[in-house]
């Protein structure tokens, strides 16, 4: 890693947009869900739900649009709609496997912190033979916290049982980077097409920013 980031013994990775190229699959999922229920979605729906956890967006669909389902039913339906993509189509971002293999060999403890449901996370990691690389998977659903809340990062850091200054957090979204900052860990911004408009701010808000995982290979 670059000279600014030394003594890293642990790493926490976001999943979507960081390790896997899945943001296009999520882009219209809220709109598709509402259409399925006979509701015309507004043009700015993606912007509205972007920083919400699964539970928060489910609650929003129920309360704001009158979808006659429970939060759990909404979550299950959306997971079902996206599952095929995780099972077959979504790709790892370039050089992710090589970088994770390298860190595993170095004995670095790694975890996943994601807003995506645990079953989908496990599904895609298993597909690429990566499930044994990680000490834990922590999700917004498991904690009841969205990734805009610093508390979810504190919970992830606690799972690694290392001092914050020995941990690097990898994120692609600006709102996540801002929340992760509160953890006291090193922050590595990862470029993703979905957040390219924030890239300059992401670079300024991170300790290090990478366009590709290739930059991390020794």
Q: Are residues 67 and 105 in the same domain?
A: no
pLDDT value at residue 6: 67
Whole-number Å distance between alpha carbons of 24 and 174: 17
Out of 69, 89, 109, pick the residue that ends a domain.
89
What pLDDT does residue 7 have? 81
d(CA 190, CA 173): 8
Residues 28, 18, single domain; the answer is no
The confidence score (pLDDT) of residue 134 equals 98
Per the structure, the complete domain to which residue 85 belongs is given by 24-89
Task: Give the mean pLDDT per block of 10 residues along the chain (218 residues).
Answer: 67 98 89 95 90 88 96 92 91 97 96 95 97 97 94 98 97 97 97 96 97 94
Where residue 61 sits, what CATH number does that domain have?
1.10.150
* 151 vs 182: CA distance, rounded Å: 9
Tokens representing residue 107 in the block: 């004995």
Domain final residue, candidates 62, 89, 116: 89
Cα distances from 109 to residues 34, 92, 134, in angstroms, run 40, 20, 7
In a domain, 212, yes or no: yes
pTM: 0.88
pLDDT of residue 4: 45
Tokens for 140, please give them.
Answer: 């917004």
Tally the domains of the chain.
Answer: 2
């Amino acid at each position: 890693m670059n000279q600014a980031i030394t003594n890293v013994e642990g790493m926490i990775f976001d999943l979507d947009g960081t390790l896997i190229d899945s943001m296009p699959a999520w882009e219209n999922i809220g709109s598709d869900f509402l259409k399925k229920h006979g509701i015309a979605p507004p043009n700015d729906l993606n912007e509205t739900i972007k920083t919400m956890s699964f539970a928060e967006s489910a609650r929003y669909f129920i309360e704001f649009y009158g979808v006659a389902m429970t939060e759990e039913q909404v979550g299950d339906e959306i997971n079902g709609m996206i599952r095929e993509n995780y099972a077959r189509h979504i790709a790892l971002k370039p050089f992710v496997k090589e970088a994770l293999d390298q860190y595993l060999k170095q004995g670095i403890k790694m975890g996943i912190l994601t807003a995506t449901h645990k079953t989908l996370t496990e599904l895609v990691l298993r597909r690429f033979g990566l499930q044994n690389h990680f000490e834990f998977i922590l999700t917004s659903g498991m904690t009841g916290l969205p990734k805009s809340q610093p508390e979810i990062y504190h919970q992830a850091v606690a799972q690694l049982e290392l001092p914050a200054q020995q941990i690097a957090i990898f994120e692609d979204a600006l709102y996540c980077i801002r929340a992760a900052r509160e953890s006291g860990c090193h922050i590595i911004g990862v470029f993703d097409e979905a957040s390219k408009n924030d890239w300059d701010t992401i670079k300024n808000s991170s300790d290090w920013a990478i366009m590709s995982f290739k930059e991390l290979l020794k």
